[in-house]
Structure 1
Amino acid sequence: MDRTRLYRNGVLKAEGFPIDEVSDHVGDPSAVVWFDLCSPTPSDLAKISEELGLHELAVEDALHSRQRPKLDTYDSHLFLTVYGAKLADRNLDLIEISIFVTKNALVTVRESSEFDIGEVIRRWDANTEMARYGVPYLLHGLLDYVVDGYFDVLQAMDDRVEALEDDLFDDRPGDRAYIQRQTFEMRKKLVRFRRLAVPMREIVGSLLRRSVEMLDPALAPYYQDVYDHTLRTAEWTDSLRELVGNVREAHINQQGFKLNDIMKKITSWAAIIAVPTMITGFYGQNVPYPGFSHPIGFWTSSAAIFVVSSALYVIFKKRGWL
């Protein structure tokens, strides 16, 4: 459902009015208009483009998904592409959001309804006295909610990496393939997430650099806070990537150690089996030997097999080869 709001002199005057009425308010310098479009059609955006004077390239980017996170500057407005993120059933879901920023209008275009725009509205309403700063304040609330969502995703990924570290040393059947698959999938998610976390840092940084011409000095600390959060998300993402790489490397080394143990066991058992083979082979020669044709010969060879094999087993066991 499309949503609309009208602020005048920092006070909420109307909401839920038809988008067709937007043109009646954007001409008023004291008015600030916000409206949200969810999966709009080209005709919907064309109508908005005519009313607000949006650039055709920005409108085209808003219609085509899979845009990279960015901030574009046009004569009459700014255009931002950001992504909301959430981790559901261990799947990383990314929701593209296109944002048009004019002097007294903010337009959000969501790819799907999975992005909770209602929570953004609740943030705006939680600090109504700041609404007097107009569009920059509304934009701050939106970006702040997007970046806070990154922390939720990273915390879930961090917990998952810790679980993988614990599973690494649990010797249970099937763990080897499971850990290898999970580390590979986690690394793919972190790579995807980093592609939006790092550009987000650049977007907010660019807005801060425009603070002289765009932001009221009172809003600069709020944007600086969002920028600090984007730095933390980028650093946290890189840290998790390194941890996943360490888990994967440790898992590979662990497999090498286990293979080495298996080879030592095989070698040890081969040595033990070689002893009776040698003795029986020796006594099987067609020549007389001590105890030949007498029971004592059989018992002597059996005792030698048992004693030597037992001695080898004890020696290999002490060395940890068995």
Structure 2
Amino acid sequence: MERTRLYRNGVMEAEGFPVDDVSDHVGDPSAVVWFDLCSPSQADLAKISEELSLHRLAVEDALHSQQRPKLDTYDSHLFLSVYGAKLVDRRLELTGISVFITKNALVTVRENPHFDIDEVIRRWDANSEMAKYGVPYLLHGLLDYVVDGHFEVLQDLDDQVEALEDELFEENSGDRVSIQRQTFEMRKKLVRFRRLAVPVREVVGSLLRRSVEMLDPALDPYYQDVYDHTLRVAEWTDSLRELVGNVHEAHINQQGFKLNDIMKKITSWAAIIAVPTLITGFYGQNVPYPGLDHPFGFWTSTTAIIVASSVLYLIFKKRGWL
């Protein structure tokens, strides 16, 4: 589905017109055109390329998924690639967004409909007086929404890590294999998220360095705010990776401590059992011994077994081995 808008002198003049009409407006210096394509075909992008004189390599990058977030410069336009992110049923869902930026046109190409472009439009309309700054303002609204989405994902992942920590240190925690699996899956999500979210910091930084040639000074604080948010995303992501690593190490250490406790108990019970085994084995030998053929010999051996076993049990219990 195609979404289009036309701004003239900072005021939205038309919406929902055909993409074929874009060429009628881009020649007007007072007009700013935005249009959005969701899962376009190669023919759709070829038509746009002809309308806006887009570079062939940029069009190819927009058609191929799994591009690294980046900002490329061409003679007539900029090409930007970022990823929207959200968690769906604890599963990380990433949507590639390619953006073509010309002097008075902004083209967004979404990989799939999972990225909520309507929310971006609501942000533009909430500050409609800023539309007078043209394409840079529209681009800011898009980047701001993308980075806010990264924050929401990190908040959910942070909550999941805290729940994992609580489960790890519960007295009667459940399946240890489940904890190990959750930790592994969390590390995979963070690695994937970091690879596609953290480079946005470089993208926004590059736009800030170009502020003299493409940004109105009034927009510098807005882009600087987005850049600060990207720094926080990077720091938070690295912090969560470290926390998950600590959870994994703590889980391994717990397994080692538990094994040590089991070995202590086995050793303690083996020592306790060894005492009566020694005594009964000794009295079972075919040699004379004190109390042979007398009742007090039996009671002596039995008392020795009970006393020695009880003493060993109390000693091991006091040391926490049992």
Bin of the TM-score, shorter chain as denominator length? over 0.9
- The structural deviation recorded for 1:117 is 0.1
Q: 1:34 aligns to what?
A: 34
Report the Cα distance in structure 1 between the residues aligned to 2:86 and 2:169, rounded to whole angstroms: 29
Report the Cα distance in structure 1 between the residues aligned to 2:60 and 2:303, rounded to whole angstroms: 90
Q: 1:46 aligns to what?
A: 46
- The structural deviation recorded for 1:295 is 2.1
My pick for the range that moved more, 176-185 or 144-153, is: 176-185
Q: 2:183 aligns to what?
A: 183
Report the Cα distance in structure 2 between the residues aligned to 1:297 and 1:62, rounded to whole angstroms: 95
Report the Cα distance in structure 2 between the residues aligned to 1:100 and 1:267, rounded to whole angstroms: 71
My pick for the range that moved more, 159-168 or 113-122, is: 159-168
Report the Cα distance in structure 1 between the residues aligned to 2:109 and 2:173, rounded to whole angstroms: 49
Report the Cα distance in structure 2 between the residues aligned to 1:237 and 1:173, rounded to whole angstroms: 27
Q: 2:22 aligns to what?
A: 22
My pick for the range that moved more, 89-98 or 191-200, is: 191-200
Report the Cα distance in structure 1 between the residues aligned to 2:283 and 2:69, rounded to whole angstroms: 82
SS in 2 for 1:300: helix
Amino acid aligned to 2:133:
Y
Q: 1:168 aligns to what?
A: 168
Matches within 5 A, 1:94-109: 94-109=94-109
SS in 2 for 1:301: helix
Matches within 5 A, 1:98-247: 98-172=98-172, 174-247=174-247
Amino acid aligned to 1:91:
R
Q: 2:59 aligns to what?
A: 59
- The structural deviation recorded for 1:173 is 5.6
Report the Cα distance in structure 2 between the residues aligned to 1:217 and 1:129, rounded to whole angstroms: 16
Q: 1:251 aligns to what?
A: 251
- The structural deviation recorded for 1:174 is 3.7
Q: 1:279 aligns to what?
A: 279
Cα distance per residue 1:167-211 (max 9 Å; x no partner): 111133643212111111111111111112221000000000000
Q: How many percent identity over aligned positions? A: 84
Amino acid aligned to 2:267:
T
- The structural deviation recorded for 1:300 is 1.4
My pick for the range that moved more, 308-317 or 163-172, is: 163-172
Uncovered stretches (5+) of structure 1, i.e. residues with no partner: none
Matches within 5 A, 1:261-272: 261-272=261-272
Report the Cα distance in structure 2 between the residues aligned to 1:29 and 1:54, rounded to whole angstroms: 18
Amino acid aligned to 1:146:
V
Contact 2:167–2:173, Cα closer than 8 Å, also in 1: no
Cα distance per residue 1:14-38 (max 9 Å; x no partner): 0011111111111111000000000
Cα distance per residue 1:231-269 (max 9 Å; x no partner): 000000000111111111111111111111111111000
Report the Cα distance in structure 1 between the residues aligned to 2:116 and 2:209, rounded to whole angstroms: 29
TM-score, normalisation: structure 2:
0.99
- The structural deviation recorded for 1:302 is 1.1
Contact 1:183–1:248, Cα closer than 8 Å, also in 2: yes
Question: How many correspondences in the alignment?
Answer: 322
My pick for the range that moved more, 172-181 or 28-37, is: 172-181
Contact 2:83–2:146, Cα closer than 8 Å, also in 1: yes
Contact 1:32–1:105, Cα closer than 8 Å, also in 2: yes
Cα distance per residue 1:28-55 (max 9 Å; x no partner): 1100000000000100000000010000
Q: 2:5 aligns to what?
A: 5
TM-score, normalisation: structure 1:
0.99
- The structural deviation recorded for 1:78 is 0.3
The yes-or-no answer on 1:316 pairing with 2:311 is no
Amino acid aligned to 2:283:
Y
Amino acid aligned to 1:151:
F
Amino acid aligned to 1:87:
L
Amino acid aligned to 1:293:
D
Cα distance per residue 1:95-123 (max 9 Å; x no partner): 00000000000000000000000000000
Q: 2:305 aligns to what?
A: 305
Report the Cα distance in structure 2 between the residues aligned to 1:25 and 1:202, rounded to whole angstroms: 32
- The structural deviation recorded for 1:288 is 1.3
SS in 2 for 1:112: coil
Report the Cα distance in structure 2 between the residues aligned to 1:85 and 1:217, rounded to whole angstroms: 30
What's the C-alpha RMSD, in Å, of the aligned pairs?
0.8
Contact 1:167–1:175, Cα closer than 8 Å, also in 2: no
SS in 2 for 1:48: helix
Report the Cα distance in structure 2 between the residues aligned to 1:175 and 1:245, rounded to whole angstroms: 19
Contact 1:85–1:92, Cα closer than 8 Å, also in 2: yes
Report the Cα distance in structure 2 between the residues aligned to 1:122 and 1:70, rounded to whole angstroms: 26
Cα distance per residue 1:147-185 (max 9 Å; x no partner): 000000000011111111111111336432121111111
